[in-house]
Chain A
Amino acid sequence: MSEVRRVVVQDCPGGPLLIRGADEVVGGDGTVGKVERPVVALCRCGRSERQPWCDASHRARRRRKKD
């Protein structure tokens, strides 16, 4: 019980970082993302529209044809 809470960061090559145990994530522009789920995914590719969170944009092939 006296153990300090652990924060674990898991590397997902080609994708985000998974983070467990954090309370807040501060984005590059200073915005603070509140952690509201047991595990969060942090965008590393810069393409997410929901920074600092990953929105799976890292998997979209760059535009092939228009929708």
Chain B
Amino acid sequence: MRALEPDDRRPRAVPEARAFGDVDEPLRDRDFQLALWILYELHYRGFDGVDPHAEWDPLLLVSRAGLERTMEHALRELVASAGTADPVEKTGDNPADDVVLALTRMTVADGPSTVSGFLQRRATRTEFCQYLGERAIYHLRESDPQSFVLPRIDGPAKVALAELQYDEYGGGRPERLHATMFARALESLDMPTDLASYLPDVSGETLASVNVMSLFALNRRLHGAAMGHLAAFEATSSLPCGRIARGARRLKLPESVLDYYDEHVEADAVHEQLAIRSICGNLVAADPGLADDVLFGAATCLEVDGMAGEALMRRWLDERERRPEPAKRSRAAG
């Protein structure tokens, strides 16, 4: 009980309404997302100089739960209004097959995503580095959120998630750990490899795209959404990574940058199948009640990552407007 009595030296819960009652667009609000990110970070690596007990401080947990309620509500509204996750179409009496089909359809590429097309054909070296900096917040911790789901699932879905994570974590070779490969890419461009350096510039939308993974992975009731999110993430990765790798070649960027993106063309072509079929398919086969959660998670990934991409595109185009370089003048991205 004592821990619930706030004093000035300890974390303090801010009443929900006062704390973020006036946040109109939580998914775009940088302060809101940064607050949530900091609270989640206590569960990953913590902060130098912050008492590790803060991870389970009841007042911080109360604050986190409040932010999460607002976040989840915003996500459900976003997905409902976008109509990305229609209720599973029943094509037969096998709910797992229906979900596999729905996930495959949802993630069919509709043409190149704007960001990867921009990186492939038009980005300058500076813009490419800005992209790496924006993504660093996730890639330096690549795949960590989903590891929290392992103890929450069972059977073939668990085996498949472990297999996917093993590949993300280097398949037995520390130098192939995806987060480490990304850090090497940053290093080769003389960019910092500590995540904190990128926090000041990252958009609210990008923070939201990372926070949503923690929201799903750290709340057991949302583990179906976590796996649906993973499936959509992996299934929309290979083709864009191929375009980004072509952009890196065009700009003659160092080998480590190519290596990271080439690796993801190949790895995510595998992960797409593992996540859609072996993880989500088996999860729903074991518990058909999870089908809607899985599709909600997948739709969330598509919508929120789309928002983050748009925010980044806007930033690039705005910056180009402000200091036009005749040779690089941009047309609106296709």
Contact = CB atoms under 8 A, between A and B. Distances in A.
A49 interface: yes
Contacts of B239: 55-57, 59-60
Interface residues of A, number: 26
Nearest to A15: B273
B166 A54 contact: no
Interface string A28-67: 0000000011111100000001100111110111001111
Size class of the B contact interface (CB-based, 8 Å)? 20 to 34
A53 B112 CA distance: 21
A12 B120 CA distance: 29
A61 B111 contact: yes
Main secondary structure of the interface of B (DSSP, over half): helix
Contacts of A64: 110-111
A59 B235 contact: yes
B109 A59 contact: yes
A54 B269 contact: yes
26 contacts: A10-B273, A15-B273, A16-B273, A18-B270, A18-B274, A37-B270, A39-B163, A39-B167, A41-B270, A50-B265, A53-B269, A54-B270, A55-B242, A55-B269, A56-B238, A56-B269, A57-B239, A59-B104, A59-B109, A59-B272, A60-B239, A64-B110, A66-B334, A67-B117, A67-B121, A67-B334
Interface of A: 10, 12, 14-16, 18, 36-41, 49-50, 53-57, 59-61, 64-67
